[in-house]
Every structure is written in C-alpha cells, then in structure tokens.
C-alpha cells in the first residue's frame, strides 16, 4: 500500500499558527491607524469648511473695518482666500501636519502655542471632575439599584436628578458665594494665587504635577485648593449622570437568572453584587465614563468662565466672539482628537476587562 505523505502538521502547523498572530495584530493595528486617519481627515475637513462658510470675514478681523481697500486685498491674498476652497484646504492640511494652525488674532501668538498653554488647565480640571464623578457616582448607582424602591433609592435618585438638572453656572456662582465669599473656606477664582504664579517651572502645564516635580508643596496645595470648587461643580454633573446609568445597568443585571442562581447557592451578597453583577456592567460603564470625560475635555465653558479658569473652552469661546477663526478651528480639532483618543482608550480597556472582545 502506498504511503501517503503526512500533511503539513506538527511543527509546520504550529509554525503557521504562530505566524498568524503577528499578521492578525498587524491587521488590527493597520485598521486602527486607517480609522484614525479617516477620522482625522473628516474632522479637519468638516471643521475647515464650516469655518469658511460662517458669516465671518477673517480679513476684517485682522485689519479692521476702516482699513484701505489695497490693505484688505493684500491680506486677503496673503491668507490664500483668493484660491479655490479645495486648494485652501490642502494648504491648511499641509500646515496642520507641520503643527501650524496659524496665528491667533486675540493673542498674536501661534495657535498651537496657545493650545499648549490653555489645554492643560482643562485637562487637569476634567480629570479631577471625572475622578470625583466616578468614585462617587458608581457606588451611588450600585446602592440605588440594590435598594430599589426603598428610601435610600429615592434619596439617591433625587440627588442625581438635582445634580443633573441644576445649571452649572448657577451652581458655580452659589459655590463661590457660600464657600469663598461667606465662609472663606476656599480661595477665589483662577488656578493659583497671584503671588504664587511663575514660581514653578512649566513642564507639563499641569500645576499639580509641575509643583510636585519641583518639590514646591506650598504651590501644590494652593493649586489644589483652587481646584476644589470647580471640580466639585463639574463632578456633581458627572456623578449624577454616571450614577443614573450605573443604576440602570445594575438593575438589568440584578434581574438576570444567574444572579438568582448565585443567591440560591448561598453566594455572599457582596460577591453577587460586585463580582457577578457589577463585573458584567463594567464594559458599559467604561463607555459612559469615557464619554463623560471626553465631554468635560471639550472645555466646560460656563464653569471655566465662572471660576476664571484659563482652559480651552474659554479660549475657543472668546476666539469665536472675536472672529479668530484660526483659534476656533485649531481648538476644535484638538477637542475632536480628544474624543478619538478617549474612544481608543475605552476600546483598550474593553479588551483588558472583557476577554471576549480580544478576538
């Protein structure tokens, strides 16, 4: 009987399986990079074209409405506005790739330099508010779900509703009036007292980090005290939303059959709640927390205005009122990139939390 050659199994099959892993990873990386490139192109295109069709004349914003016609035309050509719109976009993209968003009218500085100066303030505030919202909102939502229909549930739901419905600017002003003006427990608006400004070298732009790196704990605690009120105001809104969604997710899981089976088997209640039920809502919560963080990174304009917080939201709003389109477009692109970055981080956390999403 003729001997049949063995199929390419054994080491060959193992080698083939081994080779497929780098290929799969390369395809995933290529897919992510491609999606990022398309998202960035779409974001810049939409932002650019909206900026061009807005009823704002960037030339008048620069030269003023009393400038001679020849000066107006010279600036018009210098800005490239005499070129077709698609060519303007290509020139704009060429500058963006080099990190050049143009010069801001309101500060007379490169927009990128302004963004690097203002964005860390928003990042610091948004991060602190998200931490407060998560650390308080998640236990609130779980407690409300576990005690559904009981007095504690009603109290927590009312607290969440009030926090979600109260206007941020009103809450900020009341906080300043009570804790700063009346009680004197917290410092006033701004990120730092005047006599502490400039004492710490700027490394990251985050005052807490920079003062800690410099070992100047006086500046650190002063910056932290200024951060308390705006963090509580933004954190109240964040925790209200996170608590509501956590309660909803937990109620859905607590009504599942596997929870009833675990209880019948005598599994401790805290294990049922935190390991089984909460473990199954964690991926959904990551989405909610990520969206909350991204929305705060947009720059909470009202909070930044009330507390004189020099963040990107206040910067973009002021630029819009002054027809500073370079600053508006540059800031909008940065905000869009923040959303993309947070979504990528959420996707990474999905894979870490839920092995089923790893493929």
Domains of the chain, by residue range, sit at 30-97, 114-358
Confirm if 171 and 233 have CB atoms less than 8 A apart.
yes
Q: Give me the pLDDT at residue 142, please.
A: 92
Residue 250 or residue 30, greater confidence: 250
Q: Give me the pLDDT at residue 25, please.
A: 67
3-state helix, strand, coil in the chain (%, to 5): 75, 0, 25
% of the chain beyond a pLDDT of 90: 11
Rounded CA separation 164/238 (Å): 8
Q: Give me the pLDDT at residue 132, please.
A: 92
As a whole number, mean pLDDT of residues 223-246 equals 90
Q: Give me the pLDDT at residue 355, please.
A: 61
Quick: pLDDT tens for 253-310.
888 888 888 888 888 888 888 888 888 888 888 888 988 888 888 767 778 888 888 8
Q: Give me the pLDDT at residue 127, please.
A: 92
Most confident by average pLDDT, 54-63, 124-133, 153-162: 124-133
User: What do you get for the CA distance between the two ends of the chain, in Å?
Assistant: 44
Level-2 CATH architecture, domain 114-358: Orthogonal Bundle (1.10)
The structure tokens listed for 311 are 């963040």
Rounded CA separation 158/164 (Å): 10
Rounded CA separation 179/173 (Å): 10
As a whole number, mean pLDDT of residues 1-24 equals 51
Q: Which of 19-28, 94-103, 227-236 has the lowest mean pLDDT?
A: 19-28
As a whole number, mean pLDDT of residues 177-205 equals 85
% of the chain beyond a pLDDT of 70: 90
As a whole number, mean pLDDT of residues 139-146 equals 91
- Nearest CA among 294, 284, 293 for reference residue 357: 284
Quick: pLDDT tens for 66-99.
777 777 778 778 777 777 888 888 888 888 888 7
The structure tokens listed for 44 are 């810049």
- Give the pLDDT band of residue 357 (cuts 50, 70, 90): low
pTM, entire model: 0.80
Q: Give me the pLDDT at residue 290, please.
A: 87
Q: Point out which residues pair with 103 in neighbouring strands.
A: 110
**Average per-residue pLDDT for the chain:** 81
pLDDT at residue 37 tops 70:
yes
Confirm if 121 and 205 have CB atoms less than 8 A apart.
yes
Rounded CA separation 243/297 (Å): 20
């Amino acid at each position: 009987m003729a001997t049949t050659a063995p199929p390419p199994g054994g080491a060959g099959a193992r080698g083939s399986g081994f080779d497929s892993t780098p290929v799969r990873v390369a395809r995933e990386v290529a897919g992510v990079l491609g999606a990022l490139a398309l998202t960035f192109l779409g974001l810049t295109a939409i932002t650019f074209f909206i900026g061009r069709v807005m009823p704002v004349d960037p030339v008048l914003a620069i030269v003023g409405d009393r400038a001679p016609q020849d000066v107006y035309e010279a600036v018009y050509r210098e800005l490239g506005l005499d070129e077709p719109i698609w060519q303007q976009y290509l020139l704009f993209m060429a500058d963006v790739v080099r990190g050049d968003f143009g010069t801001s009218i309101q500060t007379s500085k490169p927009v990128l330099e302004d963004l690097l100066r203002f964005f860390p303030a928003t990042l610091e505030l948004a991060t602190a508010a998200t931490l407060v919202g998560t650390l308080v909102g998640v236990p609130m939502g779980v407690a409300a779900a576990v005690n559904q229909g009981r007095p504690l549930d009603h109290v927590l739901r009312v607290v969440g509703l009030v926090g979600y419905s109260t206007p941020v600017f009103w809450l900020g002003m009341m906080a300043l009036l009570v804790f700063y003006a009346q009680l004197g427990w917290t410092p006033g608006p701004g990120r730092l007292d005047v006599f502490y400004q400039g004492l710490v070298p700027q490394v990251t732009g985050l005052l807490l980090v920079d003062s800690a790196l410099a070992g100047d704990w006086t500046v650190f605690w002063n910056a932290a005290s200024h951060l308390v009120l705006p963090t509580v105001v933004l954190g109240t809104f964040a925790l209200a939303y996170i608590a509501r969604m956590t309660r909803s997710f937990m109620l859905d899981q607590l009504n599942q059959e596997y929870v009833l089976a675990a209880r019948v088997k005598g599994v401790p209640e805290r294990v049922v709640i935190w390991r089984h039920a909460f473990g199954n809502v964690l991926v959904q919560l990551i989405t909610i927390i990520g969206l909350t963080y991204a929305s705060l990174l947009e720059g909470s304009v009202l909070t930044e205005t009330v507390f004189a917080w020099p963040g990107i939201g206040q910067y973009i709003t002021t630029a819009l009122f002054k027809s500073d389109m370079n600053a508006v477009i540059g800031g909008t692109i940065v905000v869009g990139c923040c959303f993309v970055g947070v979504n990528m981080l959420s996707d990474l956390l999905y894979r870490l939390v839920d092995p089923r999403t790893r493929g």
